[in-house]
Structures are given as structure tokens and as C-alpha cells.
Structure 1
Amino acid sequence: MIGKARQPTEHEIRHALDRVLASPEFETSERNRRFLRYVVDETLAGRADRIKAYNIATSVFGRPEDFDPMQDSIVRIEAARLRRALENYYLRDQSGGLGIRIPKGAYVPLFEFLEVRASEITDDATAPDPASRRPLHEYGPRVLVENFNQQGDVHNQDVALVLTRQVIAALTRFTEIFIYGPESSEAPRGAVEGKARLHIDYRLVGTVTVSKRSLRAEVLMKREADGLYIWVQDFERELDENCNPARIAGLCSEIAGHVARVLALRDGILDSQAREAAGEGRRHFAGYLKLQHFHDYWRSLDGNLFEPLRQDLEASIAEDPNFVAAHACLSMLYSNAARYGIDVSHCCADPLGRALELACHAIRLAPNSSRAYHARAIAEWFLGRTEESIATLQIARTLNPNSPEILAEMGFRHAMRMNWDAAVPLLREAYIRDPQQSGQYRMGLFLYHFAEGRPERALQKLEAINAPHLALVRLAMAAALSVLGRKDEARRALEEAGRLSPALRGHLSEDLSFRQLHPELIALITQAIGSIDPSWTRARDRGIRKA
């Protein structure tokens, strides 16, 4: 969204509101439509200072006068859904005019004039054709990697070329970003005669200096739109006296892997740039932003995010059947529906079957997508195909060895089968590479320390997960506290697990077996839980709701 100098009139604002509310492209609930109308009406009436969580809850959502925003997060949750619905609406509607935005951290709307979005690939002499809009999956960050310059020892003059190619190869493994090399005929700043010019968002440039004792590289990334350098890093590695070519190649690979992780991982440079540009770029980063929404869910496993995200991804693959990453992310959501007992019966009778189908289709569309194989591995695991799942994860790791998430997933699955020699190094390396990734994989380290008789260490790993809304985390906490002899705390943790997932009681062994936990681990956990409350390990005749 790009603001113009003049302020919109009330007539223009009401017309923009009516256009949004009347459009079938504005996919949200009826109460969020009331939410939007309320905040716009209050703003136009000069009462923007009254647009607070309490007034929204009581005026729009029918909450009683004793509503406490600190205890009830309904307004915050619905505001996030409304923001996403508006964002998706303006991603689809490229006609310009006045737009409405609810900024993060506030509920007072902003009104901004929109520019008609031109095609990202344009011929300077030709007007863009709205009908030639690219499919959703082709919208994402576009990076040109230029040939690195070399200085220093002329006997090693190919080092810069080796590093350039290694960086391109490492970045290309992250299939949701678009990487172009210096040889691309569309790469130069000026359009090639008779050809369209490709819109590049970022340029990656570098200098390599080789001496008898060291290899030094400086890598920089700048934003093409304004020439601003957004990232720079120096690397220095020691060389032996012989400047062994294998050693140099290995160092180039190491540096390239680091560059790829810094730029392409979740919360990396490209991720933060896309989030920052979301309000302006609209369609330009549309496909990439879908994946960011998934990452936000995957990190927190917040159940409130699940259904809006599922609907959004279903709509995305309907709009763009070739959107590989959306198929894979949707597959992982359906696996989680089975894994955490999320009711999707209104749209899917067999969530694990749907998960496997989506993942396999993603692989058919893009056999080099590590995310697609990751999704298939999760579905296979909960279908009881543990060996196939580990093999599939190995394929994913081969496709993208720079992904800490795949390392963590592999480590977690090995831990559940008590393969500690494989599990522990993978998990530790994954969190060294990306300490901010989803805490769910730390459950593997909990299992390791718990099985090895270190309940205090196990408890520390659970606290780092930071997912108090997951019953299984509370259950594991109760088991560790029980072994430590802290029975009162263990009972409170177990009561919370029961509140979060009532059907676990009496079906604990079956639930842990569904998760493909090793029988010895199941025995250790059920014994610890049974010593607190035997009813949890006593079989009952009712269905299991996954925790």
C-alpha cells in the first residue's frame, strides 16, 4: 500500500469499506465483518481513541461488562484473523483505489491509496497486461548472485568463481526463493533488446581475498529498489602452506552454507525483508507470505491459528494448483490434525490420508523440494511407517543439508525410537544452527535425558519448548516431576494435561503408541504417571483424542 499526500474523504472511506464487505474475495466470519465496520465507523465518528479491546469485545462480540482483556484474548485473536483476511483480499484485488489496513499491535484502521500493481516482469515500452499475472507460487524474493571479485594470490584465481557457484547452489536448495546467476540473460540492470527485464529484488555481491595463510570473503546484499545494503558479513578461514584445493573447496562450501542459512532461513534476512514489505508489496511477495504464516503456526503450534491457516492454504492451492510449498504446508497441517486431535471432520474424514496425498502430489510437482519430502515423512510416521519416514527425511536432508528444521525432525524421530547416537547430535546441531526454530523438537532431548535417568535435565528441555497449551508437554512435565519426587507439582501438571486433553486419561499407552514411541519409553512414562494417578494408565472404553 502506498500512501498519497491527500487524505481520503469520508465518502471514499465508506465506499472502500462497502467494496470490501460486498466482495466474495473477502473471506472472513460475519463477526469480523462487524468488527471491521465498527472500527471504521468509530474512526469516522472521531472516536478512534475509544477503539480498545474492551469496547470491541462488548460492542461487537457480545461480551459482558466484566470482560477482562487480560484473561480473554478474543479481540487479539480475531484482530489477527481480520488483518489476514484484509491482506488476502488486497492480494487478490489489484484494481487500486483506497485500501483499509489494521496495523499490528493496534485496532484503529489506516486508510491508504493503492497503486494498480504492474506485472513484475515488464517491458519499459509496453504497458502491463493485467491478464498476464503470474501464478501465486511465482511471487517471492528474487535474488541475483553476481560473480564475486577476487584479490590476492593469482595462483588461486578460481576461488571466487567456486564460492559464487557454491552460494548459488546453497541458496537454490531453498525452493521458495528465486535465485539467478550472473550468466542469466535477464540479469543485467538494463533490459536486453527485444526481451523483458526481470525484476530483481536483491543483489548479492562479494570479494574474495586469498593469501598463503588465509581465505577471506566479504559478502554483501543490497536492495535493488533503493540501493540500500541490508546485510554484510566477513568470513576468514586459515589455509595450510600448500593451499590444498580440497581444503579451499571445503571452506567455500562452509561459507556458502552459512550465507544460505542467514539469508533464507525463517527469520533470516529475506524473511524479515518480506515481512517488512508486506504492506507495500502486496502481491509481489504473496506466495512467500503464505509460508511465513505457516512458519508462525509451526513455531508456536497455536491452535487458534490452525483453522484460518488451513482455509487459506486450501484456497491457495485451489487458486494455484502448482503451488508446491502450499501443498506441503497443508499436508503438515492435516498431519497435525491427527497428531493433536484437531477436529477437521467438517472438511476431511481421513486427515492422515489427506496429508499423505498432498505431500506426494507436492513431490510429483517438484521432486527437488525438501519441504515436500519433510511433509511426507511426517504423514508416514503417524501412519506407522517409521522406517519409510526416516528414509524420506534422509532424502529431504540430502536435498537441503542447510535446513536445521529437517535435522531437528530427523533427530526427534530417532529419539522417539531411542536411537540416541543418531538423535542427540542431530538435535544439538539443529539448535546450534537455528536456536529460534520450533521448540517442539526439544521433546526429543527430553526423551533422551528422561530415559537416561536425568529427570532434572529432561525438565529443563521441556521448559525450553514454551508450549503450555500442548497436553503432551504437560504430561511429560508431570512424568519428570514425578520421578524427581515433586508429587504436588506433578499432579498439577497432570491435571492441566487432563484439562487440555480429557480423552488421554485411560488411553495413555495407546496414544503414545500412535506416536510411534519406543515401548521402553512408553513403559517409563506410564509408570511415572501411574504413580501420581493410576486412572491415567487404566484402560477405558472410549476414543482417543490426540494430545
Structure 2
Amino acid sequence: MAPTREPSDDQVGSAFVHPTAAEGHEQMERILADPTFQASPRRRALLRYLVEETFAGRADRLKGYAIALAVFGRDDKFDPQFDPVVRLEARRLRRDLDGYYAGAGSHDRLRISIPKGGYVTHFAWQGEARSLASPLEGQPERGGLANAEAVPEVAHAAAAELSTERTVDNGAGDHPHRPAIQHSAFVAAALVAILVVGIAGAAWFWLLRDKYTDALARGPAVIVLPFEALSSGEDDRFLAAGLTQELITDLMRFGGFRLFSLPASFRQDANADPVALGQRLAASYVVKGNLRSDARIVRVGVQLIETRSGQLLWSETYDLSMTPNALLSVQHDLSTRIAAMLGQPYGIVNNDAASHLLEGDAPSMPSYDCILRAYAYRRTFSAELYAPALKCLEESVRRDPQYAAAWAMLGWLHLDAARFDWAPEGRWEAEFEQAFRAAEHAVALDPTSALALQALSSINYYAGRHDEAERIQRKALKLNPNDPDTLAQLGWRLAARGKWDEGIPLLQRAIDRTVSPPGWYFHLIVVHHYLQGHYREALAAAERARIDGSGLSWSFLAIAHGALGNQYAARQALAEMAARSPLLARDPAAAYRRHQAIDTIVDRLVAGLRKAGWTEPRSSVPSQP
């Protein structure tokens, strides 16, 4: 790389003195190569494109349409009114750059930014003047691959911008022979300047406050303290630092809570008091850990602590074999296991937050609380939980229309209105249409949101577009391969379509990685065992599925008991099934087909219900294929 040219004194802090192309490209490569730079691959491509086009003299062509075609693969039919991809990704890239300059890039001499309102890159020399502003440290950032948003990054950028102002002596200072009126004018000008700065400061305060309020509304803040190496070996120190970094990266794949950045985490003491940390940083949860190793194993201990009370919510110890070439493999395996345990929709963090909600605590995070309510409903698909969750989500998208997760969940609930008969039959088509619109809007707001893609995939599946549903779900799984809910959804749908060889292992992986799996994770495992004649295994899985209380789970329990000759238990299960699902009691074939199961599965399940004691009601209309 070309050596960086030292700016002259009058250039430091100036946003109007451009570097050479070599200097600009060198700074861009420095940013892209830094491991703490959190931008996704396509935002990295966007940064490179904007910098190169600016230096190529084509800044005037940096419009949304041209960028969409060149960077995001859109065709000439692209319409920014309906596809906000450029605007959204540019906004996220601004945050990525702010985060970089708040941490690893705080001492870089050259700052690259993309001012709002356009896509032309700007450059400003950073120097001694920057130290005049006191940086705001330790504020929470949002997690997720596509939602690494941080309020303090904006504050850092503001501080950097304010600190670039330099006092220039132009001979107009106070002088004993200068007329008094000139002195008065100077004082008046100073007062005006103070007033302007005060107004600007107030504007920044309200901007940051609103941004911070939005972030808080979308979930609790989590900070991962640097893991402590308890033995003195160099490998242990390397593993501890690597595990901390990889765990933060893996946790960021999960939505639902905000995550502190790598620099913010590594600035903390490994043994910092969680309660004090929570008060100082407004963090809700602290993850801390330690490790020691010998020639045979590495032992890692991890804890999750709630900062409001200091309560230890979860603790686990992992022992893994250590071989000479296994260091990075151990680090990766541990990180993915811990991240899934903590970050999944039914994981430790969300379960604890949901418990506070159920205890009646005031909703300090209203948008996030709506997501928790929706997940609680989706655990059991209970009619009692449906209406409150739907109302909460509708209020959430009105209050926070840019919140992709709320739109995604809203799409799922509109789908449920049709597939679970929560709405009259005459409204099913309209509910499907609303479901599609909400999920597609969620994807448009955040194309890298696994939750938004999952919702869109589910709606496609129930609309009979099975290949498209599978394609979208695999895309969601690629974004976060450690999320049990994404694994379970794909596995469930593959198995229901008869693709057992891939579907069942995915479901089993989801169950193994979940603290408290929802009942529907076991549905197709029950069916698979039953079709193979493994009735005792089917009964064991059906007992675990029954925790959700759904009519579908009770039907599987009845089938398993009937296959084993447990007629009394089978009749009880049939009664529970009928109470929860009149359609299953009236026309089970139609109920199973509604979930897109293939005919082979439907026929065998209906035969199993007959053996359990189900008989077709006399007034029932035969199901249509």
C-alpha cells in the first residue's frame, strides 16, 4: 500500500481537503480488513463501489438506481419506491463505519463517511483536534447480522465532527485601540454562536434520544466480557480471546436483542461486577466465562447473569478433547453451541425476558415485548394468546414502522388466522394476502433478517409453493446456521413432504440445541417413528410434543396409544384433540392436508386415528383430495 501522506496543520479536521486516490483506497482496505468491521459482504461491496466511483470522477452518477444495478444485482425494472434496498443498506453502512471509527479506527488519520441524503463518500483528516471531544464509551449496540446498530456510534460521529472545528486567528481579536462597537458586535456574535451551538446540541440530543429509544424498544442489551484464561499457556490466551470474539459474532446472527461491539467488550475487565456494569452501560445481561486446558482437554465455563438483580440465570461447563490441531475447531464448536443456547428464540435470554413480561413488569421495551408475546403464542398456538399478540404487533408496527421483526411476526399471525381458523372462512383469502404483504415488507426492510425470511417461507409453504418456501428457508438457514428454530422449520416442512432423510436430522439438531423445545419440533419425529412401526418411540416423542397442548399433538398421542393397544389412553387423547380442534375431530384428513402433508402421510395418520377409536361423524362431509 502507498504510504499515508501526513496532512498539514490546516488540513487536520477539515472535511474539504481530499486525500489522494491511493490514500483513500488504502484507508478503505484498512477498514475492510479489520476484523471488528461488522458490515455484511454486500455492504462491503457497496463501500468499495462508492469509494472507487468517487475517485474515478463519477460521483455525480451515484444514484440509487445505478447502485442497485451495479452492487445489488437488480435489473432495469428496479423501482426504489417499492424496493428500498439501496437506502437501507447505505444507512446500515453508515452505522458500520461509525462503529469502526468509534473503536478500531479511532486513531486512523483518515475518516471515510457517507453523509445522509446521498451516496457520495466524503473524507476528513482526523488528528489532534479529535481528542478535544470526550468520546462516549460503553453504550449498547444492537445485535444481528443486519441490525448491528449503535446509538453511541452516532454520538462518536457527532463528537468527531464537532471536534474538527479549529480556531483561526484572522486579526479580528480584541485590541485596545479597536472601537467599542466592534467589541460589542463580537460579544453579540459570540452570544448568537452560543445560541446556535445550544440549539444544535439540543437537536443532537433529541436525535440520539429518539434513536436510543427505538433501540431500547427492540430488545435488551447484552455484553460479552472477555473470557479469562486461568492457565498461563499462550494457547489458552489465544483461545480465550478468539472465543470471545467468535461468540459475539455468532450471537449477532440472532435477532431480538442488542449486542455490544467487540471493542466495547474487550475494554471491560473480565471480572467486572455485572450489577455495576448494568448500571453504567444500561446492559440487561452479562455473559462471562473462563477456560483452562491441559494436554488432553479444554474446560470452558460460561455464565449468563441478569444485571438488575445479579441473578445467575444459566451456567454451563464444557469439556472438549484438545488435539494439537484442534484449537480453532474447539473455538468454533464452543462458540456456536453457546450462542445457540443463549440467543435462540426459545433460549435463555428470551425466556428470561418473557418471564418478566408474564410477571406483569412494565413494558420497558414495547416493540421487543410484542415479539416475545408472539413467540409465546407460537410455542403453543393457543387461541387465548393469539388476539393479544396480534394487537400488540399491530401497535408495534404503527409505533415503529421500520421494525422488520414485528412485520415478520405480523405476517405469521395473519397466516395463522387462516390455517388455524382464527378468522371466519370468508376472510381466509384476505388474511393470506395480508400475511404476504407483511412478510414481504419485513424482507424489504431487512433482506438479511432470518426471521423475516422464515415468515415469508412459511407463508409460501402454506400457499402450496413448496419449492419457493424451501429456497427461502435455506437462505434464512445460511444467514444463521445455528438457530434451532430455522432448522426445525426447514426440517418439519421437508419431512411433511416426505423428505425424511434430510428433515428428521434437522429436527433432531434443533431439539438438541434448544433449552426447552416447543412441542411442534417433535411432530414429524412422531410421524416418522409411527410410519416405521416404532410405536414406543412414537409415543415417547408424542409425550414431548403434548406440552404445547395443540389438537395436532393430541392427535399424534392418540395414534401412538392406539398403535400400542392402550385404548383408554387413546380415547382420552381423542377427547382432548376434539376439544382443541373441531376440524381434526370432524375431518382429520382435511386438517392434516392443511399442513401440506403428502397423501401417504395423511392416509396412514387417519388410519391410526381409526385404530385409536376415532369414527367419522355422521354429519361430516367427506374430505376433498
Normalising by structure 2, we get a TM-score of: 0.57
Task: Answer yes or no: is the 8 Å Cα contact 1:505–1:537 preserved in 2.
Answer: no
Provide the residue aligned with 2:328 in structure 1. 249
Provide the residue aligned with 1:408 in structure 2. 488
Cα–Cα, structure 1 residues 376 and 450, in superposed 2: closer, same or farther, change >3 Å? same
Alpha-carbon deviations, 1:377-396, whole Å to 9, x = none? Answer: 22111111222222222222
Partners in 1 of 2:569 and 2:268 — Cα distance?
A: 64
Task: Answer yes or no: is the 8 Å Cα contact 1:393–1:410 preserved in 2.
Answer: yes
Where does 1:32-43 land on structure 2 (aligned, <5 Å)?
none
Match of 1:145 among 224, 234, 238: 224
Provide the residue aligned with 2:337 in structure 1. 258
What is the deviation of 1:373? 1.8
Matched, 1:295 2:375: yes
Alpha-carbon deviations, 1:103-123, whole Å to 9, x = none? Answer: xxxxxxxxxxxxxxxx99799
Amino acid of the residue matched to residue 298 of structure 2? Answer: L
What is the deviation of 1:188? 7.1
What is the deviation of 1:525? 2.0
Task: Answer yes or no: is the 8 Å Cα contact 2:530–2:560 preserved in 1.
Answer: yes
Cα–Cα, structure 1 residues 303 and 467, in superposed 2: closer, same or farther, change >3 Å? farther
Q: Percent identity?
A: 24
Cα–Cα, structure 1 residues 231 and 497, in superposed 2: closer, same or farther, change >3 Å? closer
Partners in 1 of 2:468 and 2:618 — Cα distance?
A: 30
Provide the residue aligned with 1:373 in structure 2. 453
Q: Secondary structure at the match of 2:263?
A: coil
Gaps of 5+ in 2: 1-138, 141-150, 156-197, 270-279
Match of 2:621 among 536, 540, 545: 540
Provide the residue aligned with 1:133 in structure 2. 210
Provide the residue aligned with 1:270 in structure 2. 349
Q: Secondary structure at the match of 1:376?
A: helix
Task: Answer yes or no: is the 8 Å Cα contact 1:214–1:238 preserved in 2.
Answer: yes
Amino acid of the residue matched to residue 237 of structure 1? Answer: L
Match of 2:393 among 309, 313, 318: 313
Where does 1:485-496 land on structure 2 (aligned, <5 Å)?
485-486=565-566, 490=570, 493-494=573-574, 496=576
Partners in 1 of 2:228 and 2:265 — Cα distance?
A: 20
Provide the residue aligned with 1:31 in structure 2. none
Partners in 2 of 1:515 and 1:276 — Cα distance?
A: 31
Amino acid of the residue matched to residue 535 of structure 1? Answer: E
Compute the RMSD of aligned alpha carbons.
3.9
Select between 393-402 and 198-207 the one with higher mean Cα deviation.
198-207
Provide the residue aligned with 2:72 in structure 1. none
Partners in 1 of 2:321 and 2:263 — Cα distance?
A: 31
Match of 1:335 among 399, 406, 415: 415
Task: Answer yes or no: is the 8 Å Cα contact 1:153–1:212 preserved in 2.
Answer: no
Task: Answer yes or no: is the 8 Å Cα contact 1:529–1:537 preserved in 2.
Answer: no
What is the deviation of 1:512? 2.4
Matched, 1:472 2:549: no
Match of 2:598 among 510, 514, 518: 518
What is the deviation of 1:173? 0.8
Gaps of 5+ in 1: 1-118, 190-196
Partners in 2 of 1:347 and 1:293 — Cα distance?
A: 24
Where does 1:197-208 land on structure 2 (aligned, <5 Å)?
199-208=282-291
Cα–Cα, structure 1 residues 308 and 236, in superposed 2: closer, same or farther, change >3 Å? same
Task: Answer yes or no: is the 8 Å Cα contact 2:491–2:504 preserved in 1.
Answer: yes
Task: Answer yes or no: is the 8 Å Cα contact 1:136–1:323 preserved in 2.
Answer: no
What is the deviation of 1:263? 2.6
Provide the residue aligned with 2:498 in structure 1. 418
Provide the residue aligned with 2:321 in structure 1. 238
Q: Secondary structure at the match of 2:597?
A: coil
Where does 1:26-105 land on structure 2 (aligned, <5 Å)?
none
Partners in 2 of 1:223 and 1:526 — Cα distance?
A: 48
Partners in 1 of 2:387 and 2:283 — Cα distance?
A: 34
Task: Answer yes or no: is the 8 Å Cα contact 1:180–1:187 preserved in 2.
Answer: no
Task: Answer yes or no: is the 8 Å Cα contact 1:384–1:514 preserved in 2.
Answer: no
What is the deviation of 1:542? 9.0
Cα–Cα, structure 1 residues 460 and 321, in superposed 2: closer, same or farther, change >3 Å? same
Amino acid of the residue matched to residue 262 of structure 1? Answer: M
Q: Secondary structure at the match of 1:215?
A: strand
Where does 1:121-200 land on structure 2 (aligned, <5 Å)?
129=206, 132-134=209-211, 136=214, 138-139=216-217, 140-150=219-229, 152-154=232-234, 158-184=238-264, 199-200=282-283
Partners in 2 of 1:248 and 1:178 — Cα distance?
A: 29
What is the deviation of 1:397? 2.0
Provide the residue aligned with 2:437 in structure 1. 357
Amino acid of the residue matched to residue 215 of structure 1? Answer: V
Provide the residue aligned with 1:77 in structure 2. none
Provide the residue aligned with 2:272 in structure 1. none
